[in-house]
Amino acid sequence: FLDNLPLVNTVRRMHVAHHNPEFMHQYNFNLTFPICDLLFGTSDAKVGLIRGLFSGMSEKYIRPELKQVVDNQNKSKERKTF
Per-residue confidence (pLDDT) for residue 59, from 0 to 100? 83
CA distance 82 to 68: 24
CA distance 18 to 28: 5
pLDDT at 13 exceeding the cut of 60: yes
pLDDT 10s digits, 14-67? 888 888 888 778 888 876 677 888 888 888 888 888 888 888 888 888 888 888
Coil, helix or strand at residue 47: coil
